């Protein structure tokens, strides 16, 4: 197995055509608490991946679920972060927004919507890494998902931010029944953010 990424929570390894995500022990936590947390987060991520597929969002298929690890299919392709440009940002942003509406329509919060967690394979976008995700029907949580995406676009893709973000909001509003309510909540979150910066 080849280790391809190490994060604070997990190690990602490539095993042939499969990815293994293993949640690492935390020495500073009580062993029982550490095991319970890692087991719960692992179970939650596997459940989110399965629910996302049922909602029509392409994600890696879960092949095997252990107590602290998930074996899933490897998605070959390019990170959206590396290929989004002025020329293709409208089309890609529209696609991203449609996928988010499917997640939110099933009360799935991704929790880390960045272009690094989106892979373009052919003409299709896959969402990966639901490690910070959870289920929630709350407008606030859905709006926060969008807010974090805006923050990611602002820091990584400033040159296309306006065009990409306008497309995402426009598509989200029209493709999701509660899109208008979520965007209204998003405006309130942005206002609170600006207030804190003063």
pLDDT digits (tens, 9 = 90+) for 29-88: 888 999 999 999 999 999 999 999 999 999 999 999 999 999 999 998 999 999 999 999
| Residue-range domains of the chain with CATH | 2-73 (3.30.200.20), 78-197 (1.10.510.10)
Is 154 buried (19+), middle (13-18) or exposed (0-12) by CB count in 10 A? exposed
Following CA atoms 64, 65, 70, 76 in sequence, which dihedral angle do they give, to the nearest 10 degrees? Answer: 30
pLDDT given for residue 194 in this prediction: 58
3-class state of residue 73 by DSSP:
strand
Quote the CA–CA distance of 38 and 34 in Å, as a whole number. Answer: 6
Largest CA distance in the chain: 51
**Could you tell me which residues are beta bridge partners of residue 135?**
108
Q: Is the pTM of this model over 0.95?
A: no
pLDDT given for residue 197 in this prediction: 46
pLDDT given for residue 6 in this prediction: 85
pLDDT digits (tens, 9 = 90+) for 176-196: 999 999 999 999 998 886 554
pLDDT digits (tens, 9 = 90+) for 99-151: 999 999 999 999 999 999 999 999 999 999 999 999 999 999 999 999 999 99
The residues assigned a catalytic role are 112
CB-CB contact of 96 with 118 (8 Å): yes
């Amino acid at each position: 197995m080849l280790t391809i990424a190490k994060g604070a929570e997990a190690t990602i390894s490539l095993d042939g055509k499969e990815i293994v995500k293993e949640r690492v022990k935390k020495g500073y936590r009580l062993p029982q608490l550490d095991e319970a947390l890692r087991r719960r987060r692992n179970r939650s991520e596997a459940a989110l991946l399965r629910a996302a597929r049922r909602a029509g969002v392409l994600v890696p298929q879960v092949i095997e679920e252990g107590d602290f690890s998930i074996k899933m299919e490897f998605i070959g392709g390019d990170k959206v972060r590396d290929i989004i440009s002025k020329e293709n940002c409208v089309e890609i942003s529209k696609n991203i927004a449609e996928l988010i509406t499917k997640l939110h329509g099933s009360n799935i919060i991704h929790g880390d919507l960045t272009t690094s967690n989106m892979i373009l394979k052919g003409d299709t976008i896959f969402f990966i890494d639901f490690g910070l995700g959870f289920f929630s029907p709350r407008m606030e949580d859905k709006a926060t998902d969008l807010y974090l995406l805006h923050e990611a676009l602002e820091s990584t893709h400033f040159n296309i931010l306006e065009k990409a973000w306008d497309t995402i909001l426009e598509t989200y509003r029209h493709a999701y029944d509660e899109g208008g309510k979520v965007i209204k909540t998003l405006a309130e979150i942005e206002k609170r953010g600006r207030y804190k910066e003063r």
